[in-house]
Amino acid sequence: MSLLNFSLPARAPALFASFLSLDQTILDALPIGVYACDIEGRIVRVNERAIQLWGRAPKLLDPEQKFCGSFWLETLQGDFIPPHETPMARAVLAGESFEGAEAVVRNPDGRRWVARVNVAPMRDAGGQVVGGINCFLDVTHEHDMRLALERQQRTFDLAMVASKMGTWRYSMADNVCVYDENAQRLYGLTEARFLHDTAGVEAKFHPDDMDLMWARVARAIDPESDGRYEVEYRVKQTDGSWRWLSAWGLVEFEGRGAERQPVAIAGASRDLTELKQSEELQRLLTNELNHRVKNSLATVQSIVNQTLRDATNVQAARRTIDARIVALAGAHDLLTARSWKGADIADLAAGRSRPSPRIRSLPRGLPWMFPPARLWHSRWRCTSLPPTP
């Protein structure tokens, strides 16, 4: 069955029907896979990106292929997920929603990739579920990076223990910690002996980390504890910058029973700065990706809801929705071309995003820029169509 030739379900709610009636070109322009199922789980709409990711085109309204168009789906741990247990099935059958769920997809040609999905049920005016919509994308590279970071973490730990790099020993009798050459470099010290008095500690360790550090020390030196010490903190370098370190060690005790007392802590430290930066970068990238995907979906939903609320007939609503989504896509292209730093008004005046007449009347040659948020959130609102003939 053609992706463009299908019949709407009888008495389909307005919102669901409007989505199903969207121009296929609009759906195919989206950079993420999108498909929708009716209340029976049959796939009723799918875009080109979804077909590319799946490696095959599902048959629309096929009762033998419900809830998902992929060839094979499994959890990140490798357990098979049957169609009736997929996020889409749970959205349609139980009204559940999913945001950022991940699973492994296997295509007919054997290719495996990791999908991140946002799934939501579609409801009628009375709140009854009438179908579901699934938006998904390939996050295999990000997933592999996350696994690589975890492997790197384990490698760092093993290498540090085996090589004994960055070792130190703190003696409680004289309140002095002696660092080897590598540890001196990590801690930004110019000599091996460091006095752990109040002034020295406050000058070397980040104030936000000292409470945790002392709490870990107190727990480790407790005579009834196992004497293990482990903490992460920032230390000031000679140039005034801060370096993240992970420190761990074992407390040396003397005596037995009630006379057991701590005398020293021997341990090692390693540099966590790059790992912390990588984790922060990954967190920022993940949050930005999720934010933009959710913003895109929320904007499309707002377009549909506002258009339907003000529409006088289905045909006019359909044309308005198509025009506004096209305008939104144009704004996205402008922002992407300029790395989301804003759009030059000259580009708008040239008609690349269908500007309003007032924008076209502005003087030429002015270096005016539209900020991303203003262009992204207002472009589709400025889109209007001629009266219905």
HEC-encoded secondary structure of 317-343: HHHHHHHHHHHHHHHHHHHHHCCCCCE
Average pLDDT, the chain: 82
Mean pLDDT value of segment 195-217: 94
Distance CA 70, CA 68 (A): 6
Mean pLDDT calculated for residue range 262-283:
85
Residue with more model confidence, 3 or 19: 19
Q: What DSSP designation does 112 have? A: E
Instruction: With a cut of 70, say whether residue 314 has pLDDT above it.
Output: yes
Region 361-371 average pLDDT: 51
Question: Residues of 75-111 as b/e, b for ≥16 C-beta within 10 angstroms?
Answer: eeeeeebeeeebbbbbbbbeebebeeeebbbbeeeee
Of the chain, the percentage scoring pLDDT greater than 90 comes to 53
pLDDT of residue 157: 56
Residues in the chain: 389
3-state DSSP percent of the chain in helix, strand and coil, to 5: 40, 25, 35
DSSP for residue 251: E
Separation CA 264–CA 172 (nearest Å): 6
Amino acid making up residue 264: A
Where helices occur in the chain by DSSP H, the ranges are 14-20, 24-28, 48-54, 87-94, 140-163, 181-187, 198-204, 210-221, 273-310, 314-337, 345-349, 357-360, 372-378
Q: What is the dihedral of CA 239, 240, 246, 250, to 10 degrees?
A: 90
Specify whether the CB–CB gap between 239 and 214 falls below 8 A.
no
Comparing 71-80, 131-140, 164-173, 240-249, the range with the smallest average pLDDT is: 164-173
**CA 297 to chain CA centroid, nearest Å:** 15
What's the pLDDT score for residue 4?
36
Q: Does residue 299 carry a pLDDT above 80? A: no
Q: Which residues pair with 134 in a beta bridge?
A: 35, 119
Euclidean distance between CA atoms 65 and 63, whole angstroms: 6
Q: Which of 285, 263, 297, 237 is nearest to 117 (CA)?
A: 297
DSSP state of 159: H
pTM of structure: 0.42
147 pLDDT higher than 80: yes
Q: What is the mean pLDDT of residues 244-249?
A: 93
Burial class (CB in 10 A: 0-12, 13-18, 19+), 247: buried
Give the model's pLDDT for residue 372: 55
Burial class (CB in 10 A: 0-12, 13-18, 19+), 288: exposed
Distance in Å from the first CA to the final CA of the chain: 32
Distance CA 268, CA 160 (A): 8
Among 80-94, 241-255, 302-316, 336-350, the range scoring the smallest mean pLDDT is: 336-350
| Residues 44 and 20 sit within 8 Å (Cβ to Cβ) | yes
Strand order in the sheet with 98-106: 43-46, 33-38, 129-138, 112-123, 98-106, 72-74
How many C-beta atoms surround the C-beta of residue 363 within 10 A? 8
What does the pLDDT read at residue 43?
A: 95
Span 70-79, mean pLDDT? 95
Amino acid at 376: W
Report helix, strand or coil for 261. strand
Q: What's the pLDDT score for residue 82?
A: 95
Contacts of 271 (CB under 8 A, 6+ apart): 186, 243, 244, 245
